[in-house]
A and B are shown apart, each in its own frame.
Chain A
Amino acid sequence: MRWAQSRLRDGRLGWLFVAPNLAVFGLFTFLPIAINFWYALTGGTELLPRNRPFVGADNFATLLNCGNYLDPNSCVRDTFWHGIWNTTKFVLLQVGFMISFSLVTALVLNRKIIGRGFFRAVFFYPVLLSPVVVALIWKWIVQRDGVLNAALQSTGMSGTNWLLDPSWAFFWTVFVSIWAHMGFYTLILLAGLQAIPRDIYEAASMDAASPWRTFRRVTLPLLMPSLAVVFILGMIRAVQIFDEVYVLTGGGPGTATTFMVQYIYNTGFAQGVREYGMAAAASLLLAGVLLVLTAIQLKGMMRGGRGSAH
């Protein structure tokens, strides 16, 4: 009996225990990848794959059909290209500012501060809020009769209809997503800072190094692995920005805040005629970008950093 069990243990039992997990992964992750390619290569509006006519690379050709890639309006699918350029701009601005603020916050929280636990909690709290809640909180503040405009008017400045102005709407998508996510990156950077051995700082103060010099020569180099992880993680998330922005601006005004995932969602699910093939093709292009970023991240993880997405 025990013999049988130990034989089983080394063989089939292991598989039995991982089977439910693999079944779900297979059904909702691996199979979809394969099907996604079929969707991308077929046209029509049918959902069932066998009813869809094969069109080869037509979907990709349509998406990439542009007079001038820098000018979305010259493209057949101009919204897609607006999405690409908006996303690029968003990723650069959002990740850049967010990591900077997170670093400053982590440095401040790493000092001997009264009420450090409280402040850390305050900066982290928005991370746990749902994107919809985050968007509504800020929509309520920046709406036409909102408290922001009232505050501006009381100081003599004139408010504006923030979310109806393309530049301001874009600004708010960046601002709100930094507000919602910076606590997460602050936490990881803070853990990185606390992992730096105390005696290195003591040695630096023995040598009478200035605070700035200590930061440049000790803190920053030792924090680099954490910073790199946080940077890539932030980019992976920023490329997929959707939820908050969808509720805050709906992608507008016009296409000012339409990002790549929203293009996929709109094309595949929100328009009257659902273009599954086009949505799948766009998502494969997005997957290419994410694959590169994730490969960099995994390489970092192998070298002993941390970081993952769920």
Chain B
Amino acid sequence: MAALTRMLSAKRGFAHWDWTDWISYVYLVFGTLLMFGPVLWLVFSSVKSPSGLVEFPPTLLPWEQTRVSVPGQTASLPLFKIAEGDHAGQTLAEIRKIGLQATMVDPAKPDTTIRVPAAGLKKVMHLRAAWENYTDLIAKLNFGLYLWNTVFITIVATALTLLVNSMAAFALSKYRFKGREPVFMVMLATLMIPPTIVLVPNYLIAAVLGLTNSLWGVIWPAVATPTGVFILRQYMLTLPDDLLEAARMDNASEWRIYWRIVLPLSAPALAVLAIFSVMWRWNEFLWPMVVLSRSESFTLQLALNSFQGDLETQWNYLLAMTVVTLLPVTIIFLLLQRYITQGIASAGVK
């Protein structure tokens, strides 16, 4: 024990822990449980069968009551171990329970029923991961369509976002033209107009353009973002103008200069914007809900929402669908954490 304490308190360059260290670690461990525990609980719950999900009290691992099919019985029967009385120690299947009495049957001798007090019954449990929660999503629940809609929106919108914003950033950082500063200020000013306050007119414009219930109705409004212009412009300002001049000497067209020189050199900033764009589009909710009302055009987020609003929520499918929805974001985070946190710390975007 003393050795353990010594090992734990061996800190880089510090001989002893004072109380503030202890408080810090207690805070962090508690915080970790609170921040990550709920996600783990979701993931573990998502491989439980419907009968495992309603077990109370709930367990972390997918325990569920064992059922057997008994000749002569139409449905499969739940297994119980008898804890007391004449049949103590036997494992029997329950046919029905009326009041305090349960009618049981021995699966080995299906012809004779046995009556025992219901109080002495202990469920026979076994572990089983219900992977069918995941496979059924595609087979039964149109999940493939929602996934495809979401992937399509995310990829197309991100590609267009990069193109449209980098073009603007290129002009705003590398050309001197009348109106350059006002244009930049006007673009930044759009930061002040969050989409929540122009829902009605945006819906009208989407309707007039025939974009309602079309994935393009989610894509187009998203492709110009002030944050994107800002990040890219700030980065392009650091690229030396000499490079562009040298290319012009070689008679490169302006489009070629943008496409072959400036864009490749801006890769780090483009990567940051791409990551953010993917997150924004994947997670977007309110605007898609307004513009996409038919279930064929639902994104994952909309499908999750409508699914959880059903009167009879099938939690096993809902949980599995939630896990699939958070998976891509989690993978991106694990791989690109550094870019994400740096991007946020430097531009303050989310």
Contact = CB atoms under 8 A, between A and B. Distances in A.
B31 A127 contact: no
B205 to A, nearest CB: 6
B302 to A, nearest CB: 8
Q: Main SS of the interface on chain A? A: helix
Contacts of B42: 136-137, 140
A104 B26 CA distance: 13
Given A184-B344, A229-B348, A310 B227 contact: yes
B196 interface: yes
A48 B203 CA distance: 11
B350 interface: yes
A222 B290 CA distance: 44
A203 to B, nearest CB: 20
A187 B304 contact: no
B279 interface: yes
A140 B319 contact: yes
B38 A279 contact: no
A11 B191 contact: no
Contact of A10 (B176, B223, B308): B176
B24 A287 contact: no
A128 B58 contact: no
B39 interface: yes
Interface stretch (B101-109, B112-120, B281-289): B281-289
A80 B286 CA distance: 19
Interface residues of B, number: 105
B341 A310 contact: no
A209 interface: no
Contact of B285 (A13, A132, A146): A132
A145 interface: yes
A129 B221 contact: no
Interface stretch (A18-26, A61-69, A71-79, A162-170): A18-26
A246 B13 CA distance: 50
Nearest to B10: A114
Contacts of B170: 17
A35 B201 contact: yes
A28 B167 CA distance: 19
B326 to A, nearest CB: 5
B301 A132 contact: yes
B203 to A, nearest CB: 7
B341 A120 contact: yes
Contacts of A28: 198, 202, 205, 220-221, 224
A289 B168 CA distance: 30
Contacts of B193: 29, 33, 287
A286 B220 contact: no
Interface in B105-140: none
A240 interface: yes
B279 to A, nearest CB: 6
A308 interface: yes
Contact of B198 (A32, A125, A190, A276): A32
B148 interface: no
Contacts of B203: 47, 268-269
A121 B35 CA distance: 10
Given A145-B54, A233-B348, A243-B285, A21 B187 contact: yes
Contact of B199 (A6, A16, A184, A269): A269
Interface string B315-327: 1001100100110
Contacts of A229: 348
A308 B83 CA distance: 65
Given A11-B177, A28-B220, A229-B348, A261 B196 contact: yes
B220 A308 contact: no
Contacts of A129: 39, 283, 326, 329
A197 interface: no
A141 B37 CA distance: 11
B131 to A, nearest CB: 19
Contacts of A10: 175-177
Contacts of A310: 225-227, 276, 280, 349-350
Interface string A199-239: 00000000000010000000000000000010001001000
A294 B191 contact: yes
Contact of A31 (B205, B251, B315, B319): B205
Contacts of A290: 192, 194, 197
Nearest to A237: B350
Nearest to A283: B197
Interface string B188-227: 0011111011111111110100000000000011011111
Nearest to B206: A28
B57 interface: yes
Interface in B36-75: 36, 38-39, 41-42, 45, 54, 56-58
B32 interface: yes
Interface in A1-58: 1-2, 5-6, 8-11, 13-18, 20-22, 24-25, 27-36, 39, 47-49
Given A17-B258, A35-B205, A113-B24, 11 more contacts: A9-B175, A14-B171, A33-B201, A36-B198, A114-B12, A125-B36, A126-B39, A153-B57, A187-B344, A188-B345, A264-B199
* 5 interchain residue pairs of minimum CB distance: A130-B283, A17-B171, A32-B201, A24-B224, A14-B177
Interface of B: 11-14, 20-21, 24-25, 27-28, 31-32, 34-36, 38-39, 41-42, 45, 54, 56-58, 163-165, 167-168, 170-172, 175-180, 183, 186-187, 190-194, 196-205, 207, 220-221, 223-227, 229-230, 248, 251, 253-254, 258, 276, 279-280, 282-283, 285-286, 289-290, 301, 304-305, 308-309, 315, 318-319, 322, 325-326, 329-330, 332-333, 337, 340-341, 344-350
25 contacts: A9-B254, A13-B175, A18-B167, A21-B187, A24-B220, A31-B205, A32-B205, A111-B24, A112-B13, A113-B28, A119-B32, A125-B39, A133-B322, A133-B325, A136-B308, A136-B319, A145-B56, A150-B58, A246-B305, A264-B196, A269-B289, A280-B201, A286-B197, A291-B192, A308-B349
